[in-house]
Structure 1
């Protein structure tokens, strides 16, 4: 009798419970917002609970119910390793970047707070997805990212936060104009091929732990110099690997030049 009961229980789980869990996981994954939505998609790892995920990405373990609602999942017990979860930027409290140092006339445009104009930048101000930062002449701005990377914005420069790093996507910034030094944190065992992406009007730079300097001139041409590690610079379907001690130049609408030797890294000072 005991064997029969166990056998029936196993069949029930095999044909009803397991397919239900699988179907629910697929439905949750398919309901995730498409590209262009503000937020990140993560993959649930073994041992992760909803409260742990909420604490890690939202700074509040009590927000797990809101996380479920955003993913259209009714039962918290159906969160399984390997499934995808959408984490909207609107739920997060922790900024993507924080102003560590500001000198002279520098400003931020906080789209995340629905602001409609530029405001003065000061140390401690947090920046979220789609927020912008710029410096005027004789000013300097230093940003520290949650991922561990650091950015230094030189005078007369302008940068936009396009995407925040997750387990599937790297930090992505857009340098509209000016000069920016980036010290990108190392991979620390992650499977990501890129830890940081910098876009400009003329090129895209893919990075995985390095130090480099990028400049966008008044004609929107891009110069990139690498001082540690290497950077893959792409434009017009052509990619060049820029190693430490080398640089490349990208004229807007053209392919990157062959990397050339450069002197030591300069310090960004107004």
Structure 2
């Protein structure tokens, strides 16, 4: 039973007490009805103007109540009115979720005002969402309308009629998800109009979208929906969808595609960029991939349309727990059944340290290697590994709790090695490994073997072992075996040199070392020597002088 609004009071009447005033019991009806208590001065046309959606249907009310004289009704008499005829009472919606740029325009208003959480949405309002924005409006009976980004919805009628509710919306452009709940055992009436169709549902979950061509798509996830356009109506059942082109009837409902499945899901993602790949779905021409902070996918932080088989890379994402959603889209634009959200844990902090030593692909001559890296915020220690293979199956040296930012290895044998390091957080969590750094420990260049110097009248030709392309040489000549007095010091690009024959007689020493392309110099060769004798003229004069002295002493 409902009251007359002008009296501002509600009168409950027991049928057993007022039965003699009631021409027809409300309980004789199969449909839902309400009971109006007549007051002094009421007449049926007046009640029709006050309560009926169409006031001219007061004659139908008279017929239902078996009123022989519609102009004659008595105070306290009960008039039965079917809910379907009622105008209803406005029932505001409430903003239960809002993200990004969401604005509302009131009935007959011109300004768009920002919409906030728990704001009321009244009948006649319009709500608009911008890029990467969303809003969910929940009605008194628990039904809801979720608007995705770049969507414009008008709330044409939001009313309560007895124990039932009626919501009629106008989707001008964009995408919505509607959830309709049953209340007190009765199904509410929910209708979405678009520029090309009308989608009416009872007790269901369905998606509705309008594209730039005013084409409407409706996909039913639970229950059933009537889709009507161009005087033709189709019943779209659970797991089906239809397309309505403007000015044309709906296409025959078709089965929705199954959702694409994620390949090789990880329990935790500790390195950026995040990479995802999905299995192929037959009939899908594209995928809509989204990541949200909630399992329902409302608080979305990432959305992208990709081709089947395309690898998705996300360059930046804060640490946290997220949910990955994937929808396949068929050739007429219908989105598939929703996927089970995949929980994704992202923890990239603490980041791997920046390594300054060893240098990638470098060769080192010292067997004990100095390793250095930069400190990482939030790291309390570092985990270091050196292996003999790129996959780190043969770990040769490992230290999981280095406190500082430097480490010197034990002596390593000559060979190839691989280095990596990661940061350790205060709670013991270890972040991602650094990039693998290959390096090698190699011996110094060998000492070239010297050939016997070729001494002629003016020059000395000195040659030594050729150690190959890219090698250079360091040549020295000294007047003593210890090379404390170096007379010639040369850097040479080939394994030979020519020097002027020393003027002074005596023993001279030479040696040579090799320098590899990286600039590392090996040990000097063992010294070789050559002798410079006194000149022949001096010898001749000495002989002549000696003979002259001998002959001068003869008697």
**Fold conserved (TM > 0.5)?**
yes
Q: Is the 8 A contact 2:102 2:115 kept in 1?
A: yes
SS at match of 1:197: strand
1:147 is displaced (CA, Å) by 2.3
Contact 1:147/1:165 (<8 A) preserved: no
Question: In proportion to residue count, which structure has more helix?
Answer: 1
Correspondence 1:233 to 2:233: no
2:255 to 245, 250, 261: 261
| Residue of structure 2 equivalent to 1:124 | 118
Q: Normalization by structure 1: what TM-score?
A: 0.67
Which residue number in structure 2 is paired with residue 245 of structure 1?
239
TM norm structure 2: 0.34
Paired positions, count? 207
- Are residues 255 and 128 of structure 1, via their aligned partners in 2, closer, same or farther at CA, if it must alter by over 3 Å? same
- 1:187–1:208 contact (8 Å) kept in structure 2: no
1:138 Cα deviation after fit: 0.7
In structure 2, what is the equivalent of residue 104 of structure 1? 100
In structure 1, the residue matched to 2:176 is 180
Q: 2:204 aligns with which of 204, 210, 217?
A: 210
The structural deviation recorded for 1:263 is 3.2
With over 3 angstroms needed to count, the CA separation of the structure-2 counterparts of 1:169 and 1:100, relative to structure 1, is closer
Structure 2: gaps of 5 or more residues: 1-20, 22-37, 56-60, 62-73, 260-287, 289-296, 304-555
CA distance in 2, matches of 1:24, 1:33: 12
Using a 3 Å threshold, how does the CA distance of structure 1 residues 229 and 115 change in structure 2: closer, same or farther? Answer: same
Change in CA separation of 1:23 and 1:256 when aligned onto 2, cut-off 3 Å = farther
SS at match of 2:159: coil
Who is 1:166 aligned against?
160
Question: Cα–Cα, structure 1 residues 260 and 174, in superposed 2: closer, same or farther, change >3 Å?
Answer: same
Change (3 A) 1:245 1:170: same
Kindly indicate whether the alpha-carbon contact (under 8 Å) linking 2:104 and 2:128 is maintained by their aligned counterparts in 1: yes
Given that 1:25 and 1:80 are in contact with CA atoms closer than 8 Å, whether structure 2 keeps it comes out as no
Query: Which structure has the higher relative contact order (CA within 8 Å, separation 6+)?
Result: 1
Check conservation: 2:52, 2:87, Cα contact below 8 A.
Answer: no
Report the alpha carbon displacement of residue 81 of structure 1 after superposing the two structures with TM. Answer: 4.4
Q: Residue 49 of structure 2 corresponds to which residue in structure 1?
A: 31
Q: Which has the higher strand share?
A: 2
The 8 Å contact of residues 236 and 253 in structure 1, kept in 2 or not, is answered as yes
Indicate the structure (1 or 2) with the bigger Cα radius of gyration.
2
How far does the alpha carbon of each residue in 1:60-80 deviate from its partner, in whole angstroms, 9 at most, with x for none?
A: xxxxxxxxxxxxxxxx95472
What's the offset of the Cα at 1:256? Answer: 0.2
